[in-house]
Amino acid sequence: MITIDDFRKIELKIVTIKEVLDHPNADRLYVIKVSLGTEERQVVAGIKAHYRPEELVGKQVVFVSNLESAMLRGVESQGMILAASDASVMRILSPEQPVETGSIVR
């Protein structure tokens, strides 16, 4: 269990996906460029089996913006796109209606 204070440390924002590329060193990963409104970042995401690039570009998604950067198979990931999954499907989390890019998720 985490405390409410621990949870408050997590910065969730709505970002817009700008570009989706195949990861150069992994068959199941994408390298995704996202806009936070005031800046752009790159994230590595294991959603290739569930989405085609054209389904993702322009989509707004929930993003962990204050996650420490990590190298994933030689490519820097500067955040995390949130998704839900079960045994057969994975779906990225999106707002029900469009909101301003960079909006805070509460």
Which domains does the chain carry?
A: 4-92 (2.40.50.140)
User: Residues of the chain with pLDDT > 90: what percent?
Assistant: 97
pLDDT confidence of residue 51 = 96
Residues 77 and 30: beta-carbon distance below 8 Å: no
Summarised one tens digit per residue, pLDDT across range 22-47 is: 999 999 999 999 999 999 999 999 99
Task: Using the predicted structure, report yes or no on whether residue 88 has a pLDDT greater than 90.
Answer: no
Summarised one tens digit per residue, pLDDT across range 39-71 is: 999 999 999 999 999 999 999 999 999 999 999
Model pTM score: 0.94
Distances (CA, A) of 76 to 9, 23, 41, 44, 106: 22, 11, 10, 7, 27
